[in-house]
């Protein structure tokens, strides 16, 4: 029997990204990305989650400016509910700034200048959210390719190789046989045949 989703209005996390392993406890869900209007930055709207809980909303017009952040959900009228909503938003933004600084710091010493300069504002959150949107789009593109092509990853050169063949067994096997035996390409990983989170690992590592 199919189990009912206990949170039907809360988008679930992508299982492939969960299996791959996340670098941060911040997630963006319900992404509405407009590539036509994305110029210097992503033009998007999304809900930001911290530790699996809805924290706040984010958007950007795509013209190079900073993201706009605001409380999630309907704006409450002045009074106790509005005060509580703003307090929750303030606390969530403070937590997001700390997590974004930790995430950027983990990238290495080359980003120390950014932490020193932006740790007290929302710039690092913008960077983190941009990374998460890029990751989501990369996974979407990889899935698109893997459904339509035979794909291999060369572990030596870090290149992705594709063949315009429907990725079914009768098409994959002859290509594998030629490149693994005749062309001695034993270092290739055939991405159509490995679990999706493993394919993502190689896809991300490709040049």
Residue with tokens 């706009």: 68
Q: What is the pLDDT of residue 164?
A: 96
Residue 123: Cβ within 10 Å count: 17
Q: What is the pLDDT of residue 108?
A: 78
Residue with tokens 């055939």: 190
Q: What is the pLDDT of residue 12?
A: 59
Helix (H) / strand (E) element for 59: namely strand 53-61
Q: What is the pLDDT of residue 120?
A: 80
Residue with tokens 């989501």: 136
Q: What is the pLDDT of residue 3?
A: 39
- Taken in order 92, 95, 99, 105, the sign of the CA dihedral is positive
Written as tens digits, the pLDDT of the chain (207 aa) is 333 334 434 445 777 777 667 889 999 999 999 999 999 999 999 999 999 999 999 999 999 999 999 998 877 777 888 889 999 999 999 999 999 999 998 887 688 888 888 878 899 999 999 999 999 999 999 999 999 999 999 998 999 999 999 999 999 999 998 888 776 767 899 999 999 999 999 999 998
Are 126 and 67 in contact by the 8 Å Cβ rule? The answer is yes
CA distance 130 to 132: 5
Q: What is the pLDDT of residue 207?
A: 87
């Amino acid at each position: 029997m199919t189990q009912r989703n206990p949170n039907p209005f809360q988008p679930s996390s992508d299982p492939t990204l969960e299996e791959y392993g996340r670098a941060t406890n911040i997630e963006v869900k319900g992404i509405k990305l407009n590539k036509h209007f994305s110029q210097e930055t992503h033009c998007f709207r999304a809900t930001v989650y911290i530790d699996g809980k809805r924290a706040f909303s984010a958007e950007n017009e795509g013209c190079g400016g900073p993201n706009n952040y605001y409380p999630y959900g309907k704006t409450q009228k002045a009074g106790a509910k509005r005060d509580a909503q703003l307090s929750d938003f303030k606390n969530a933004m403070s937590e997001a700034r700390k997590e974004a600084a930790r995430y950027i710091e983990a990238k290495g010493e080359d980003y120390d200048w950014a932490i020193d300069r932006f740790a007290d504002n929302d710039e690092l959150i913008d960077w983190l959210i941009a990374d998460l949107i890029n990751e989501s789009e990369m996974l979407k593109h990889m899935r698109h390719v893997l459904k339509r092509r035979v794909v291999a990853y060369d572990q030596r050169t870090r290149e992705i190789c594709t063949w315009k063949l429907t990725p079914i067994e009768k098409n994959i096997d002859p290509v594998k046989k030629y490149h693994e035996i005749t062309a001695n390409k034993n270092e290739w990983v055939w991405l159509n045949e490995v679990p999706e989170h493993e394919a993502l690992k190689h896809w991300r590592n490709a040049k």
